[in-house]
Amino acid sequence: MSDLTRREAIAGSGAALTLAMLGAGTAQAARSDENERRVVVLPVTPDRVAVVARVHSGEVLTASQGSERRSRTAEKNVAVLGLAVAKSARSRVVVEVAGASRTLDVDTRVEALRASELRVVNKRVALTNKDKPNKLATAGAVVVDARLQHPIKRMIKAAKKDEVDLEAVSGYRSFEYQESLYARYERRDGRKAADTYSARAGHSEHQLGLAIDVRGADALHELEESFKDTPTGKWVAAHAHEFGFVVRYQEGQEKTTGYRAEPWHLRYVGDDVARFLHERRDIKTLEELFDLPAAPGY
Ligand SMILES: [Zn+2]
């Protein structure tokens, strides 16, 4: 059976309820009719999935698998949660919203995980040297997963309208390139210091092709924490979510993410997840959002 869009109308309370399942690929299905409720399930790690629901504000999304059960309330028409599932296997997740429920198949085997725009990598969850984006594309000066090409272009254009000259300066990095980059930092600053700002090979979001580093064309405070106080840094914090990006490593989250604040490092998660995180200011990391263990170290 194809993993791509399987849509099934089910009886809801009042309006027709559509639950769309994408086992692999993109979350495009979540994007069409504003009045329809839709659910997308994507793998996040080999033993966890994200349930992303386009519902009505204030409605509660519940998902369960075996004895695991999680709920979250929608903010601005979106609810997102993480759910534990069998490791590297197919599972069945029961999703409930607005008095209707549906069982969805989800796949956390490596091929499905590689295709997921919500895949998480951190100091506890590694990629192998075989992991690379299925399709690469250029956006300005950087190479990224092809799904980021248009969002980056749209974001740079929107920034320009606000008189902010935004540039992407780093995108996809191969396992081998990250290995050499980290080795250089380790030689310069020592392992302990290097670990606070650089990922070891297999642990970088840049290897996913789903992260970019940005700066202002003025290069003011480039790759420094103080970037957040520049006009460009402020614009990014206020608007990146409109293009599907989140500031992945925020201030004060080192115990969860393992990194100092990186206000220039943007992770693509798609419009719905970015919007939900922007509304839920209390959830500052993908680890918290998907209920993953904190990853302060290796
Ligand atoms: Zn980065």
Distance 265 CA to ligand 1 centre (A): 4
- pLDDT recorded at residue 23: 34
Average the pLDDT over 154-176 and give the result: 97
Task: Give the pLDDT mean for 154-178.
Answer: 97
Q: What is the Å distance from ligand 1's center to 136 Cα?
A: 17
Distance 36 CA to ligand 1 centre (A): 36
SS (H, E, C) the chain: CCCCCEEEEECCCCCCEEEEECCCCCCHHHHCCCCCEEEEEEEEECCEEEEEEECCCCCEEEEEECCEEEEEECECCEEEEEEECCCCCEEEEEEEECCEEEEEEEECCHHHHHHCCCCCCCCCCCCCCCCCCCCEEEECCEEEEHHHHHHHHHHHHHHHHCCCCEEEEECCCCHHHHHHHHHHHHHHHCHHHHHHHCCCCCCCHHHHCCEEEEEECCCCCCCCHHHHHCHHHHHHHHHHHHHCEEECCCCCCHHHHCCCCCCCEEEECCHHHHHHHHHCCCCCCHHHHCCCCCCCCC
User: Residue 140's pLDDT band (boundaries 50, 70, 90)?
Assistant: confident
Mean pLDDT on 4-21: 34
pLDDT at residue 1 in the model:
32
For residues 257 and 287, the answer to whether their CB atoms sit within 8 Å is yes
Whether residue 68 has pLDDT greater than 60: yes
The pLDDT of residue 98: 86
Dist. CA 90 → ligand 1 center (Å): 32
- In angstroms, what is the span from residue 260 Cα to ligand 1's centroid? 12
Q: Are 35 and 56 in contact (CB under 8 A)?
A: no
CA of 172 to the centre of ligand 1 (A): 9
The fraction of the chain above a pLDDT of 70, given in percent, is 88
Looking at residue 217, its pLDDT comes to 96
Cα of 212 vs centre of ligand 1, distance in Å, is 6
User: Could you tell me the pLDDT band of residue 37, with boundaries at 50, 70 and 90?
Assistant: confident
Give the pLDDT confidence score for residue 36 in this predicted structure. Answer: 76
Mean pLDDT of 71-75: 96
Q: Compute the distance from residue 77 Cα to the ligand 1 centre, in Å.
A: 30
The predicted pLDDT at position 99 comes to 87
How many whole angstroms from 174 Cα to the centroid of ligand 1? 13
Q: What is the pLDDT of residue 155?
A: 98
- The domains located in the chain, with CATH, are 6-115 (2.60.40), 136-289 (3.30.1380.10)
pLDDT band at 6 (very low <50, low <70, confident <90, very high): very low
CA 83 to ligand 1 center in whole angstroms: 27
Q: How remote is the CA of residue 193 from the centroid of ligand 1, in Å?
A: 16
- Mean pLDDT score across all residues of the chain: 89
- The rounded distance, in Å, linking the Cα atoms of 139 and 143 is 6
pLDDT tens readout for residues 97-131: 988 899 999 999 999 999 999 999 999 999 999 99
What's the CA-to-centroid distance between 279 and ligand 1, angstroms? 23
Work out the average pLDDT over 241-253: 97
